[in-house]
Structure 1
Amino acid sequence: MPVTIKDISKEAGVSIAAVSKVINGDYSNVSSDTKNKILRIAKELNYRPNRLARGLVSNRTNIIGLIVPDIANPYFAELAKGIENNANKFGYKLILCNTDEDVEKANAYIDVLFEYNVDGVIISGSESSTSSRIQQLHNSNVPVVAIDGDLGAEAYNVYAGNLEGSFIATEHIIQSGHKLIAFIGGDGVPGRGNLRLDGYLKAMRQYEISVNYDLIKLGNYQMETGYLYTKLLIESGQPFTSIVCGNDMIAFGALNAIKDKGLRVPKDISLIGYDDIYLTTMMEPKLSTIKQPLTEISSYAVEVLVKLMQKEEAGDKVKCFVPHLVCRDSVQKLDI
């Protein structure tokens, strides 16, 4: 059986109230000898505080929830690590919820976060403000910060500039002499459209390059999408010299398809990714990509959430970080 404050009270020969005060860091009206005795016995008995029981009394658990759509994607793994590290600096522990972009799974996790009486929630990815469970969070006054999602006016929203980043990626391809440029991406975020596709289209139009919609393919943000659609594009006979990918995982799939077809990157087809996950420097050739400012995003999201949980002024409700280009070896410069 777990050790309780009643056990410590009995062993120390003091009241339960005195033990409760000391365990919770309140040393007022408790002698130094009594405090040290309680803390010593608690350590000897290997006492572990019951966070949930504490939360019922103080209405605080020092636990936050993090909801991500795909923890197998290194981008979200790196984001989760950054959020956990920053949360720890403020004394908060993390419950990680991986939804696999499944609405029912997301709703079930939000129910779990309610059960654990979390102090706040960070939601990354494609959860929509129309979700009934998201509305429950708002209605229950649980502070929520969204990263690259659309959780409505009630939530604080942290964005990476997806349109700007995709524009930069496409512009780099264009300035390298390419005009026959394919795009393979995901379906986008509900309520906000497909900003990475929009960035590609904006760059093509700004540079007055005709858009061939047969070269635009949309699926999900996993390797299989990159592999399948690159294979189909090659087999279609449609001429193209480069692919702008919606993320690095799509680019990895595209690279495998290109190699399986006996072609080479970048000699035959140039590739550019998005996110700059750690694997981009391990592939051959090393992937040119758009770097997401994950350190800044995770730090800012946690700082805002902590301020909201402590009922402090958190500043602007919308914050946008601009990504930047990382040039490596997967884009070939063509003679213009």
Structure 2
Amino acid sequence: AGSLEYVDSILDLTTGYYPQAVQLSSVAVSGLTEPTYSGTPMYASLTLGGASYALVIDQNGSDGKLYADTDGSKTLVPIDWIQQLWDGGDLASASFQLSTDNGRRPYRLFLEWNPGTPTAIIYFRDNYMSGQIELGGVAYKIAIIDENTDGLFDDLDHDQLLIDIDQDGELLATSASHERYWLDAPFNIDGTVYAATSVSPDGSQIVIDKSDAWVDEKVPLEVGFTAPDFSAKDADGNDLSLSSLEGNIVLLDFWASWCAPCRDELPHVEQVAKEYADRGVVVIGIDLDRNEGAFTGAVSYFGLTYPQVFDGAEGKVSSLYRVSGIPMSYLIDRDGIIRGKSLRGDDLKKAIEELLNGN
């Protein structure tokens, strides 16, 4: 078992989030001790840790003042907005006090309100649990994130685990991270598969055991890590592997004919392939179409001359690179190290030139 402690802000770990929403209504929440409003109050109830907490927006034209019952006492307190967002919305960070068997515990979250959508409040966690656990005789730094922002950390299918698999002291929380897992997902460390079997509701305890399931190790896919090798047949039936291209700069471009942004980008990728072909730059297209006919038709229609691999909708190359959205690309240097991701246009050419010049 591992022990974890509450961390009051999540921004040092990640800026990503899964937004939740509650509906505002003119129907008052009963039993509240309320301030004197300057405009029209709109009410919502937020469920955290199994209990209900009232939220109120005092709306006056395009302005809205936020109030919250942060401790379950039914007394509203003002919550200051900390930032105006690019779309005109306002953002606040508020700490609530949740009741547990062992007393109260803090739970901080972000609250967002936009006068353009005045009947909803968006909310998402601004906290996480941090600690360590011993697996196979090795102590690993870990964190648990309450991704569905319900104030409970025991939803194995809705909350996430971060584990410092590479032991570099940093928990990598990006979407492509090899250290980020849903709590109900098994994970592989050095050939041994583990899975979380239980988490306490307050997130202070986690049990991770060996699993009978088998999953491959997640490879690192961030800039600075070695790009994972793969082997495939190209559209002409030739054997192709990433390792055979070592010494070249390689651009892997994941696309599909049904993807409109991909279609828009294909002529630019073709231009890059032709412009740099004589300078040691190899472009490889990895196609995710559902059938090979759509793939070959698109290659012909767009006149693509650089090597193409039909990987299919759930192919081994796109799975290896954990491609969840396209277009997606990886720029890999002569030593096989990832140097850029999702680069397009001038940014892509600039990155290629820098690699060609030894930077």
Q: Which has the higher contact order (CA 8 A, sep 6+)?
A: 1
Higher helix residue share = 1
**TM-score bracket relative to the smaller structure:** under 0.3
TM-score (norm 2): 0.23
Higher strand residue share = 2
TM-score (norm 1): 0.24
